[in-house]
Amino acid sequence: MSLTEHLFPGSGIQPGTRGVVVDGPHGWLHQSVTVRFDTGFGDLREVDAPLGKIRLKRRDGGLDRFTERARWVGLCRLGVAAALLLPVLYFVVVYLWTFHTIDGLLPALVVAALDSAASMVDLVLTRPLQAAVFLSVSWWLGRFAFR
């Protein structure tokens, strides 16, 4: 059982995920509230969260405002994910167009990844500042898209 499952059983919601309270406190012994969470790519999920496990970030933020923000952030994440995954998809399409089979696709992907890693080492050695900026931005975009 993961920490997430322990905090919110069956929900898969990570601690620290933003949400909006949609229903007030309920329950006798263990009071909880219904919270709508943004789960990533604009998908919203409602769970009953114990009062002791949630933290107030802003009062009167509004359900419509939260939903609109979740939709826009989800669309941005989807765009960044597509931009990061497009080169791999392009490689697969060109490979299939050229060889008309998936035989050897996995070794070709491994060779391409190793070639890219060697090129990155060359970039780090010859242009360290540009490489640092590129790697930092790529890391941040990956964290944003796939958190």
For the chain of 147 residues, list the mean pLDDT of each consecutive stretch of 10.
47 74 79 83 80 78 83 86 91 96 94 95 96 93 80
> How many independent structural domains does the chain possess?
2
Residues 95 and 128 in one domain: yes
Q: Please, what sign has the CA dihedral across residues 43, 44, 47, 51?
A: positive
- Please indicate, yes or no, if residue 16 is contained in any of the structural domains: yes
Name the nearest CA neighbour of 36 among 69, 6, 3: 69
Residues 129 and 89 in one domain: yes
For the entire predicted model, the pTM comes to 0.63
Question: ∠ CA 106-102-114 to the nearest 5 degrees?
Answer: 25
| Domain of residue 17, residue span | 3-53
- The reported pLDDT for the residue numbered 3 is 46
- Please indicate, yes or no, if residue 85 is contained in any of the structural domains: yes
- The reported pLDDT for the residue numbered 62 is 81
Give the integer Cα–Cα distance in Å for 37 and 44: 5
Two tokens at 62?
């509004």
